[in-house]
Amino acid sequence: MFYHVVLMRLTDADDAFLSQVRDYAVRVRRELPFVRDYQFGRNGATRAKDYGWAVIGTFDSAEDHDRYQVSPVHQEMKAFMTPHIADMVVCDYGAPGAA
C-alpha cells in the first residue's frame, strides 16, 4: 500500500472553495480507477500547528501514485488550490510490502 498525505494551511477556505475541492476529490475517485481511496477534509488533530486541512490518497503502488500526480484531474485541482495554500507538508509513504 502507498499513502499520499498532504497537510495544508489554507488562506481563504470559504464554503465555495471547500465545495469545489470536495468535488475534485469525488472526480479523482471517479475518474482514476487506480486510486484506492481519496479524501479531503478538516484535520482533527489539536496539535496540527494550523495545518487545518488534509488530502489523503491511498494507492496500491508508488507507480499508481505517480500516475495520479500527472493526471489531468489532479493537475486541475492543484492549479485551483495553489493560490489558496499558505503552506503545506507532504508525506508519501510506501508501507512495507508495497510495490
**11, part of any domain:** yes
**DSSP run (H or E) holding 58:** strand 53-59
Q: Which pLDDT tens digit goes with each residue over 29-71?
A: 999 999 999 999 999 998 989 999 999 999 999 999 999 999 9
Give the pLDDT band (50/70/90) at residue 18: very high
**70, part of any domain:** yes
Range of the domain at 53: 2-94
Task: Report H helices in 13-60.
Answer: 15-31
**61, part of any domain:** yes
Which three cell numbers, joined as nine digits, stand for 51? 495545518
Question: Domain count of the chain?
Answer: 1
Return the ∠ at Cα 78 (arms to 48 and 13), rounded to 5°. Answer: 50
Coil/strand/helix, residue 64:
helix
Return d(Cα 59, Cα 40) in angstroms, integer: 15
| CATH code of the domain covering residue 58 | 3.30.70.100
**78, part of any domain:** yes
Tally Cβ neighbours within 10 Å of residue 86: 11
pTM above 0.85, yes or no: yes
